[in-house]
């Protein structure tokens, strides 16, 4: 068994001594490419998502409809530095949460959706005017 290990060690050292940098360069390039792919497919989107979630939490205002990470839905009654108080149900039960417990802000999502639809409608109107103008020019 020790003869085999000695033989394997000799073979490994002789190949690294002969090849040198030439043999390790493709390995280094492959590692860099793998790290780059991992960054663009996992780390970057995750950081983008975290930034968006943090922005939602910071921009929460009184009157917003939110859902917590526990699934509790309610209307924001009070906002402080790191806590919020929401009101749930028709009996107006108030519950205090940390801001990091906010999962979605439905009011902000509705505003964003309305802005997108308005921009889309404006774009369609602009295209319609342009096509009408082109028809009149002919």
Alpha helix ranges (H) inside 20-105: 21-38, 44-58
Same domain, yes or no: 65 and 118? yes
The predicted-structure confidence for 40-91, as pLDDT tens digits, reads as follows 899 899 999 899 888 888 888 899 999 999 999 999 999 998 999 999 988 8
- pLDDT category at 4 given cuts 50, 70, 90 is low
Same domain, 112 and 48: no
Residue 68: beta bridge partners? 102
For the full predicted model, state whether its pTM sits above 0.85. Answer: no
Contact predicate 60/102, CB 8 Å: yes
- Of 86, 92, 123, 121, the residue nearest 106 (C-alpha): 86
Tell me the C-alpha distance between 88 and 68, whole Å: 12
Which domain covers residue 17, as residue numbers? 2-54
């Amino acid at each position: 068994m020790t003869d085999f290990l000695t033989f394997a060690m000799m073979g490994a050292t002789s190949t690294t001594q002969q090849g040198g940098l030439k043999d390790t360069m493709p390995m280094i390039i492959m590692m860099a490419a793998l790290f780059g792919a991992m960054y663009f497919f996992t780390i970057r989107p995750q950081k983008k998502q975290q930034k968006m979630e943090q922005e939602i939490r910071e921009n929460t205002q009184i009157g917003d409809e939110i859902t917590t990470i526990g699934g509790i839905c309610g209307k924001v009654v009070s906002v402080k530095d790191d806590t919020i108080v929401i009101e749930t149900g028709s009996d107006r039960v108030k519950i205090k949460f940390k801001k990091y417990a906010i999962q979605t802000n439905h009011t902000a999502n509705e505003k964003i959706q309305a802005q997108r639809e308005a921009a889309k409608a404006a774009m369609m109107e602009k295209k319609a005017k342009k096509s009408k103008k082109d028809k009149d020019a002919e």
